[in-house]
Amino acid sequence: MSSSGDKISIRPDEWVAVLDFGSQLTQLIARRVREHKVYCEIVPHDTPADELRRRNPKGLILSGGPASVLDEGSPSCDPALFDLGIPVLGICYGMQLTSRLLGGTVEPGRKREYGKAIMTIDHPDALFQGLAPDLQVWMSHGDKVDTPPEGFRPMAHSDNCSVAAMMHPERRIFGLQFHPEVVHTPQGAEMLWNFCFRICGCRGEWEMSAFIEAATEAIRERVGDHHVICGLSGGVDSSVTATLVHRAIGDRLHCVFVDNGLLRYREAAEVEDLFRDVLGVDLHTAHTAPQFLERLEGVIDPEQKRKIIGRTFIEVFAERARALGPVRFLAQGTLYPDVIESVSPVGGPSATIKSHHNVGGLPEDLEFDLVEPLRELFKDEVRLVGRELGLPSYVVDRQPFPGPGLAVRILGAVDEERLDILREADLRVREEIMKMENYLDVWQYFAVLLPVQSVGVMGDDRTYENVIAVRAVQSLDGMTADWYKLPHDVLDRISNRIINEVRGVNRVVYDISSKPPSTIEWE
């Protein structure tokens, strides 16, 4: 598969750049700025000032990072970016680096400051306009600015940090020792709003309706008269991608939907009903459940399951792609976090938690150029696009679902009988939670079939049957998650329905572990 050719880029004229120094919160900064309808893009920390001058952002934000500016070889930036004449906001590591590059001093803190702190504003300015003099903020630092650079003045302090914020009024360069992007800094959103609008002069015109129009034109220009193939799963990303591309080129889009037998209750029928019958997409369904189940027979190891499913998916997709004849482009639902992670400038090696599969790894005779219309969007923005496009809520608000499907929610061997048990149990979990008025607050919820059986009593008979675990979590993006405190009456109905309505289950348990240390999925 080839990515040759220009990427589809839907970048507005007005934008703010975030220089990435490796913080786990860098993406959150960009999300927070975009929530104010200002387009924001993450760029490598060593992006040359000339490149930024050429792209003409309205402002720069220097992210936090795990390194110490006092360490040899710690990530830095082009000092010339401070002379671009546009506002700069350094956050945590970004503030310390600003101070060090411009002649201030940074020293190791005698006491590391981590968590909630009360900050007192000493010299209010545009960044803190409209805020109370004493604010709760979220600190996470060891080093701290001791003496700000010449021309800077301290703006705020906390008990453990004499320079909790600083600014150079004429050059419009700011530094915050705390993290305004996290919810634990309650007025952080207002600070970022002040930076974008009062200081950078942004207009705030980043709208999803405008994105759709620009994306449609960009797809037409990129594809020309050629045809496009799309691997459709029914998930949010692939569904929005397919709908956007279909809007742009009509019947020259061909979607391949692989029904691997590992989907949830009626999921395959829903995909076919929507895309073939309602939207009129040229949909090619591969009903290949027997092929997948045969290869999974007796396989217990979760990584083996994933690899088998991934390889089989590629084989099936490739076979259907060849049957379509010559097609130049492949549409994929790549999102902005995928792009960021693939080009992380300072991130070190990380442990493999679980393997994933996409439409990568196709045979050499299937060479495609990529069409990735969502590659500059976050997940919540993709959902907004889906709503603007008129997709139903059961697609737009669809739960995250693992690529290998229910195979990794069955602990142990996968077969048709166990799949049926899990489908029926999972349906009842979803039905009961979706009756809650605030069910959209639950980020993900599902059932897991455990590889154990337990003793029970039904009527006068002793039973020895399966155990279902219920998982429900709240999260922003899946990177971290806390178990959701479902109301007891909801848990009661879920348990009663599963035990009474799903043959083969006599016990239901609730998973109350968070991520980390646990993962959201069990496999």
As annotated, the binding site for ATP includes: 233-239
Q: Kindly list the distances between the CA atom of residue 381 and the CA atoms of 126, 136, 207, 374, 385, in Å, as whole numbers in the listed order.
A: 29, 29, 10, 9, 6
Return the CA Rg of the chain: 26
Q: Which residues pair with 17 in a beta bridge?
A: 41, 60
Distance CA 30, CA 18 (A): 7
Q: What is the DSSP string of 306-345?
A: HHHHHHHHHHHHHHHHHHT----EEE----HHHHHHHT-S
Contact 375, 335 (CB under 8 A): yes
Please indicate whether residue 181 is annotated as part of the active site: yes
Say how far apart CA 500 and CA 43 lie, in whole Å: 54
DSSP structural state of residue 269: H
CA distance readout (Å), 349 to 47, 74, 305, 343: 22, 16, 25, 12
List the alpha helices (DSSP H) in 141-266.
Answer: 188-193, 208-223, 236-249
- Please tell me the distance from the alpha carbon of residue 443 to that of residue 239, in angstroms, as a whole number: 19
- What are the DSSP calls for 353-370, one per residue? ------S-S--TT---EE
DSSP 120: E
Are 80 and 118 in contact by the 8 Å Cβ rule? The answer is no
* Length of the chain counted residue by residue: 523
Asked if 357 is an active-site residue, the reply is no
Structure tokens at 185: 């800094």
Distances (CA, A) of 153 to 117, 146, 409: 21, 12, 56
Query: Which one from 77, 92, 200, 202 is the annotated catalytic residue?
Result: 92
Write the burial class of residue 244 (CB in 10 Å: 0-12 exposed, 13-18 middle, 19+ buried).
buried
- Please pick, among 45, 141, 168, 179, the residue that the annotation labels catalytic: 179
Inter-residue contact 297 to 346 (CB < 8 Å): no
Please pick, among 113, 181, 424, 521, the residue that the annotation labels catalytic. 181
Binding-site residues sit at 233-239
Kindly state the tokens that stand for 24.
């786990």
Report how far residue 168's alpha carbon sits from residue 174's, in angstroms, rounded to the nearest whole number.
7
Residues marked as catalytic: 92, 179, 181
